[in-house]
Amino acid sequence: MKLAGARILLECLKLEGVDTVFGYPGGTVINIYDELYSFPEIRHILPRHEQAGVHAADGYARASGKVGVAIATSGPGATNTVTGIATAYMDSIPLVVITGQVPTALIGNDAFQEVDIIGITRPCTKHNFLVKNVKELAEIVKKAFYIARTGRPGPVLIDLPKDVQVAITDFKYPDKIEMRSYKPTVEGHVKQIEKAAAMILAAKKPVLYVGGGVILGNAYDELRQLAETLHAPVTTTLMGLGSFPEDSPLSLGLLGMHGTYYANMAVTNCDLLVAVGARFDDRVTGKIPAFAPHAKIIHMDVDPTSIRKNVRVDLPIVGAVHGVLDKLLKILEEQRNEVESFRSAVQPWLDEINGWKAKHPLSYKESSEVIKPQSVIRKLRELCDPDAIIATDVGQHQMWTAQFFTFTKPRTLLTSGGLGTMGYGLPAAMGAQAAFTGRQVIAICGDGGFQMNLQELATLVQNKLPVKICIMNNNYLGMVRQWQELFFGKRYSQTVMDLPIDFVKLAEAFGATGFTVAKPEEVEETIRKGLATPGPVIMEFKIAREEQVLPMVPAGASLDEMVLAS
Amino acid sequence: MRHTITVLVENEFGVLSRVAGLFSGRGFNIDSLSVAPTNEESISRMTIVTRGDEQILEQITKHLNKLIDVIKVFDFTDGSIIEREIALIKVTAEDNDRAEVLRIVDIFRASVIDVTPKSYTIEVTGAPSKIDAILELLRPLGLKELVRTGPVAIVRGAKGWKG
């Protein structure tokens, strides 16, 4: 069957099972958009900015586990995708981003809306392709999806020149792909897993340190089983939230810079740290020499470059965490008696941890004068659906959400962990809502981050995506302000956003609904009304302006040097 | 510590910049790099000389392996490899020095590939240490220009990697 490149691209997307695409038309993708009429099975959502389009594809991918797809035109369309791509890259989110490019004959000529997007995105994609010949197109699309979702997932960009979209060739989509240069290690080494079992059973003070890899690799059931089999406490990174139910007595919540007192104390005092799909980010470790100083470290990860990148590792296991944990559980099952005695040996450690929990639980001072953001998060958890999907922006509200929401299900928190991208929350929620039209999706934003992509209110209304948006408004860039307060003598250089925006009117201008609240006693009622109102809703909470995120490990300090109270 | 790394890559455009970008983006050093196609046309072979401690070298080889276009990475740290490098050296040679230059060329089994009344251009092949040695002797005579290819390397013994 002879087809044009633009048509081939869409046929490939269809065969990959793509049901939703976030894209923005332009001169070099106009052929793709024209062909779109023939593909009613592909829902196209038009964001108001390409960055938001990629964040939406990212939110779609995180919530659903599928590959997110975004389209942008050449030049500025392509450069606008970069923040979205880098965000996905840092958090290992599978995306295929398709950019238009000027005709091959013009590449390198500084043509209108030409940019070397392959060069620009090389360091922030897992891989990228410039399609020079329409004959390669189908195979490249196949490879792009394969690379994006296998191994350690990540974004892949396909740069598609306009003449290649027009050129005609025989279309055949390859059934499978075999690449001699790309064979990600999937199965963990059995001998290493056996050693891990022995190391675990020899430990007296174990901690499971769990990252986003457990969610990306769909290994949360195995993880939970492991923790419950061993009675081992579990702390998660920001990306790992939801991989283990935080209402379990074994949960220590978040660790690291804004982690709980007890998680950081447990890591500092443990004798065995089992890292599962986590990468020892600097926000987690604090000062490296003081990180888990008494512990042997087992590190399970699908990406060998994550191992021994930041910290020494006593036992590396390269492999997909799902299979590795499964194998580990099988080995432990054969050693029932040992596991039994391990559990009783671990009890004093759990008692010690419970002591820390009792001494310094996560806390804040309630107020009857002014709304405390932590109380909004707790109230929201109480009133929202149990399977609600939460997307956040970046900053104080993100940390309060991570600390106080109590995540119990995987893929219910969408947040930019690695890159820390302000403006991520609203479009990511939009993408998640497109993936799950029937589920409650809530974006929790600060007033700063919300303003970075607020244009997407239009997309929400136009596409009937009923995202509920909670704005924690302190008229500050709160996290930077907190650093300025603590480390720069309260010199709030350029972090004051002192314009009283009327968010209710703003919502109404886009055809959405807005609520605003400043009194603590009206918070519950506002959340109830907001969640019950059909369509997109803004709920603005005028919060205590100088509230801090605590505990806090100052940058470069060790995890047990926490600031606990202001 | 100095390491010689051999990288087999898909012979496609953009691969060199991916490898170079990996080094620059992560702050790894490249002392020298040479690239050419192998006997199998679709594969190119890079020889990279780099330096770093064990942990850095482990990261370098892992990251190289992670690049989608990289087929295989060999890190040669021991003495099991043969390294060869070519240098083209333009040296001032007048009066009495002319004979001295030729003596040095002779000792190092180098060859004179261009000659003028005031200069010799010399080609020398060998392990990088040999090139360093001849340069040390020629430098006092007046070195006008130097081009080094950076070493290429192959493993000793009967075993070979296809291509």
Q: Does residue B21 sit at the A interface (CB-CB below 8 Å)?
A: yes
Q: Residue B78's pLDDT band (boundaries 50, 70, 90)?
A: low
Question: Per the structure block, which two tokens stand in for A463?
Answer: 């596409």
Q: What is the pLDDT of residue A258?
A: 97
pLDDT at A112 over 80: yes
CA distance A294 to chain B (A): 21
Give A274-325 as a 3 state SS string: EEECCCCCHHHHCCHHHCCCCCEEEEEECCHHHCCCCCCCCEEEECCHHHHH
For A275-302, the pLDDT digits (tens) are 999 999 999 999 999 999 999 999 999 9
For A124-144, the pLDDT digits (tens) are 999 999 999 999 999 999 999
Q: Give yes or no: residues B55 and B90 share one domain.
A: no
Q: Give yes or no: residues B43 and B108 share one domain.
A: no
Asked whether residue B23 is assigned to any structural domain, the reply reads yes
Q: Does residue B160 sit at the A interface (CB-CB below 8 Å)?
A: no
For A55-104, the pLDDT digits (tens) are 999 999 999 999 999 999 999 999 999 999 999 999 999 999 999 999 99
pLDDT at A264 over 90: yes
Q: Give yes or no: residues B148 and B95 share one domain.
A: yes
Q: Give yes or no: residues B61 and B120 share one domain.
A: no
Q: What is the CATH number of the domain that holds B134?
A: 3.30.70.1150
Domain extent, residue A46, equals 2-170
Asked whether residue B158 is assigned to any structural domain, the reply reads no
Whether residues A122 and B18 touch (CB distance < 8 A) is answered with yes
Q: Give yes or no: residues B19 and B71 share one domain.
A: yes
Q: Give yes or no: residues A40 and A136 share one domain.
A: yes
Is residue B25 within a helix (H) or strand (E), and if so which, with residue range?
Answer: helix B15-25
| CA separation for the pair A78, A64 (Å, rounded) | 25
Q: Which of A54-58, A458-462, B80-84 comes out lowest in average pLDDT?
A: B80-84
**Which residues of A are annotated as catalytic?**
50, 112-113, 162, 479
Asked whether residue B101 is assigned to any structural domain, the reply reads yes
Asked whether residue A555 is assigned to any structural domain, the reply reads no
Q: Give yes or no: residues B66 and B118 share one domain.
A: no
Q: Give yes or no: residues B69 and B86 share one domain.
A: no
Whether residues B17 and A122 touch (CB distance < 8 A) is answered with yes
For A196-235, the pLDDT digits (tens) are 999 999 999 999 999 999 999 999 999 999 999 999 999 9
Q: Give yes or no: residues B100 and B125 share one domain.
A: yes
Domain extent, residue B47, equals 2-76
Q: Give yes or no: residues A307 and A382 share one domain.
A: no
pLDDT at A446 over 70: yes
For A401-410, the pLDDT digits (tens) are 999 999 999 9
Q: Between A425-435 and A50-64, two packed helices, what is the crossing angle to 10 degrees? A: 50
A17 within 8 A of A60, measured Cβ to Cβ: no
Asked whether residue B159 is assigned to any structural domain, the reply reads no
The residues that bridge with A472 in the sheet, in sequence order, are: A446, A541
Whether residues A130 and B14 touch (CB distance < 8 A) is answered with yes
- Out of B17, B59, B71, whose CB is closest to A180? B71
Q: What is the pLDDT of residue B163?
A: 60
What is the number of domains present in chain B? 2
Whether residues A181 and B9 touch (CB distance < 8 A) is answered with yes
| CA separation for the pair A351, B155 (Å, rounded) | 58
Q: Residue B1's pLDDT band (boundaries 50, 70, 90)?
A: confident
Starting at the earlier edge strand, list the strands of the sheet with A513-517: A413-414, A389-392, A441-446, A468-473, A537-542, A513-517
Whether residues B65 and A304 touch (CB distance < 8 A) is answered with yes
pTM of the model: 0.96
Asked whether residue B86 is assigned to any structural domain, the reply reads yes
Percent of chain B with pLDDT over 90: 85
Q: Give yes or no: residues B64 and B129 share one domain.
A: no
Mutate one of A156, A181, A306 to test the B interface: name it (highest B CB count within 10 A): A181
Asked whether residue A150 is assigned to any structural domain, the reply reads yes
Q: What is the pLDDT of residue B131?
A: 97
Query: Last residue of a domain, which of B76, B100, B120?
Result: B76
Query: Last residue of a domain, which of A170, A203, A222?
Result: A170
For A495-527, the pLDDT digits (tens) are 999 899 999 999 999 999 999 999 999 999 999
Whether residues A180 and B58 touch (CB distance < 8 A) is answered with no
Q: Give yes or no: residues A311 and A418 share one domain.
A: no
Q: Give yes or no: residues A290 and A402 share one domain.
A: no
Asked whether residue B160 is assigned to any structural domain, the reply reads no
Q: Give yes or no: residues A43 and A124 share one domain.
A: yes
- Out of B17, B62, B69, whose CB is closest to A181? B69
Q: Give yes or no: residues B70 and B88 share one domain.
A: no
Interface of A with B in 174-203 (CB under 8 A): 179-182
Handedness of CA A134, A135, A136, A139 (dihedral sign): positive
Cβ-based contacts of B10 with chain A (< 8 Å): 181
